[in-house]
């Protein structure tokens, strides 16, 4: 999916700052409703690319605002679609069963999902499980701002105190570690869920 993300970034990069922000919006929107686009990687690449063009903290704020808007739009899109159709009973039961093996059974799972992503299509889960839309949006915003805010602030630190080449390498290494840890935690949690579901009652 990374290649798709690269295509999106390459396409919009010709439009400068606005294009980069639009690329971030599209990446996060797609990531929220269809399939993973590894947005963490492209966020830092776009952030680095905008250095010197937009004041640092304004650039961070613009990126975070774009991420928040995209994630709210993605969650809302799935929520509205699922709410407007009749969900088959077997799908509803499967989602309920899946929910029972999550660490949290309510909207707080959206925050945990930032660390160990085991909850895809969050907007659909919110609609099917009857979670509070307002709380889900709040947790989505908080989780996005904290996660990507820390990533961008760390990237800014590296760019300030390292040479350009070293800063890029350290930043990309940081993203690789974050993705690796998230992937490992999600695999571990899914295996725990599978063991729990196969355990005799």
Q: Tens of pLDDT along 63-96? A: 999 999 999 999 999 999 999 998 898 998 888 8
Which of 15, 13, 28, 21 is closest to 122 using CA atoms? 28
According to DSSP, the residues that pair with 51 across neighbouring strands are: 54
Give the pLDDT score at 2.
52
**Listed residue (43, 34, 35) closest to 67, CA to CA:** 43
Give CA–CA dist 77/201, Å, rounded.
37
* Of 8, 55, 67, 37, the residue nearest 179 (C-alpha): 37
Helix (H, G, I), strand (E, B) or coil at 53: coil
Residue of higher predicted confidence among 109 and 13: 109
Q: Of 36-45, 133-142, 145-154, which range is least confident? A: 36-45
CA–CA dist 43, 200 (Å, integer): 44
CA-to-CA separations, 167 to 152, 154, 160, in angstroms, rounded? 12, 10, 8
Residue 130: burial class (beta carbons within 10 Å; 0-12, 13-18, 19+): exposed
Q: Tokens 């350290």 label which residue?
A: 170
Whether pLDDT at 134 is above 50: yes
pLDDT at position 25 over 50: yes
Average pLDDT, the chain: 85
* Residue % of the chain over a pLDDT of 70: 90
Integer Cα distance of 126 and 89 in angstroms: 16
With a CB cutoff of 8 Å and minimum separation 6, the contacts of 103 are: 109, 112, 189
- pLDDT, position 1: 46
- Distance, in Å, from the CA atom of 11 to the CA atom of 18, rounded to the nearest integer, reads 12
Per the DSSP assignment, residues forming a β-bridge with 54 are 51
Residue 56 reports pLDDT greater than 90? no
Q: Which pTM does this prediction carry?
A: 0.84
The answer on pLDDT for 192 being more than 80 is no
Is the pLDDT reported for residue 180 higher than 70? Answer: yes
Q: How far is CA 51 from CA 17, 38, 54, 112, 159, in A?
A: 11, 21, 6, 31, 9
Question: What pLDDT score does 122 carry?
Answer: 92
Q: For 15-25, what is the mean pLDDT?
A: 91
């Amino acid at each position: 999916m990374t290649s798709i993300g690269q295509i999106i970034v390459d396409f919009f990069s010709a439009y400068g700052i606005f294009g980069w922000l639009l690329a971030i919006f599209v990446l996060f929107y797609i990531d929220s409703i269809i399939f993973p686009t590894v947005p963490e990687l492209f966020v830092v690449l776009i952030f680095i690319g905008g250095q010197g063009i937009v004041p640092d903290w304004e650039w961070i704020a613009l990126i975070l605002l774009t991420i928040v808007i995209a994630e709210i739009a993605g969650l809302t899109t799935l929520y509205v679609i699922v709410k407007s159709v009749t969900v088959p009973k077997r799908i509803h039961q499967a989602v309920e069963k899946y929910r029972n093996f999550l660490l949290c059974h309510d909207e707080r799972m959206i925050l945990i999902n930032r660390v160990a992503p085991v909850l895809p299509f969050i907007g659909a889960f919110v609609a099917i499980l009857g979670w509070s839309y307002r709380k889900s949006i709040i947790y989505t915003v908080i989780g996005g701002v904290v996660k990507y805010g820390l990533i961008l602030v760390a990237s800014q630190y590296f760019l300030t105190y390292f040479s350009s080449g070293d800063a890029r390498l350290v930043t990309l290494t940081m993203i690789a570690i974050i993705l690796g840890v998230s992937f490992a935690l999600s695999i571990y949690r899914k295996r725990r869920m599978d063991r729990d579901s196969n355990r005799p009652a």
